[in-house]
Structure 1
Amino acid sequence: MDATTIGSVIALVGVLSGSVAAFLGKRGENATARMNSEIDQIQEERDGLRKQLAERDARIAELLKQQGDDYVAIARLRAQVINMGGDPP
C-alpha cells in the first residue's frame, strides 16, 4: 500500500468514527430532552395534586368545625329540654 491508500483508509476510519460519535451524541441528546419533558410533566402533576390535597384539607377542617358547632348546639338543646322537664333521647 502506498501513502495515499493509507491516508484514505485513515480518513475513512476518522469519518466513520465521527459519524458514530455524532449518532450516539444525538441519541443521548434526544434521551435527555425526553427525560426532561417527562420530569416536567411529573412536576406539573405533583403540583396539581398538592393543590387538590390543600383544598381537601381545608374542606375537612371546615367540616370538623361545623361538626363541633353541631355538637354544641345539640348539647344546648338537650339542656333546654331537660330544663323544660323533658327527657332527651
Structure 2
Amino acid sequence: MDATTIGSLLVGVGAVAAAVVAYLGKRGETALTGYSSLTGTLQKERDRLDGKVTELHTQLADAARLRADDQAEIARLREENARLRDLTIQLGGQP
C-alpha cells in the first residue's frame, strides 16, 4: 500500500468515527432534554399535589372543628334533657 491509500483509509476511518461520535452525542443530548422535560413535569405534578394535600388538611381541620362543636352541643342538649326530665318528675309528670 502506498501513502495515498493509507491516507485515504485514515480519512475514511476518521469520518466514520466522527459520524459515530456525532450520533452518540445527539442521542445523549436528546436523552438529557427528555430527562429535563420529565423532571419539570414531575416537579409541577408534585407542586399541584402538595397544594391539594394542603387543601385537604384544611378541610379536615374544619371538619374536626365542626365535629367538636357538634359534640359539645350534643352534651349540652343531654344535660338540658336530664334537667327537664328531673323537673318533669318533680312536678309529678311522666318523663
Deviation digits for residues 32-86 of structure 1 (CA, Å, limit 9, x no counterpart): 1111111111111111111111100110010001000101011111111211226
Normalized against structure 2, the TM-score is what? 0.85
Which residue of structure 2 aligns with residue 82 of structure 1?
82
Output the CA distance in 1 between the equivalents of 2:3 and 2:82.
Answer: 117
User: Distance between the aligned counterparts of 1:44 and 1:29, measured in 2?
Assistant: 23
Distance 1:42 1:18 in 2: 36
Cα RMSD for the two superposed structures: 1.1
1:64 partner letter:
A
Structure 2 equivalent of residue 12 of structure 1:
12
Q: What is the count of residue pairs matched by the alignment?
A: 86
For structure 2, the residue ranges without an aligned partner over 5 or more in a row are 87-95
**Percent identity over paired residues:** 40
For the pair 1:3 / 2:16, whether they are aligned, the reply is no
Tell me the distance in 1 between the aligned counterparts of 2:85 and 2:31: 80
Larger radius of gyration: 2
1:79 is matched by which residue type in structure 2? E
Cross-structure match for 2:22: 22
Moved over 6 A (4+): none
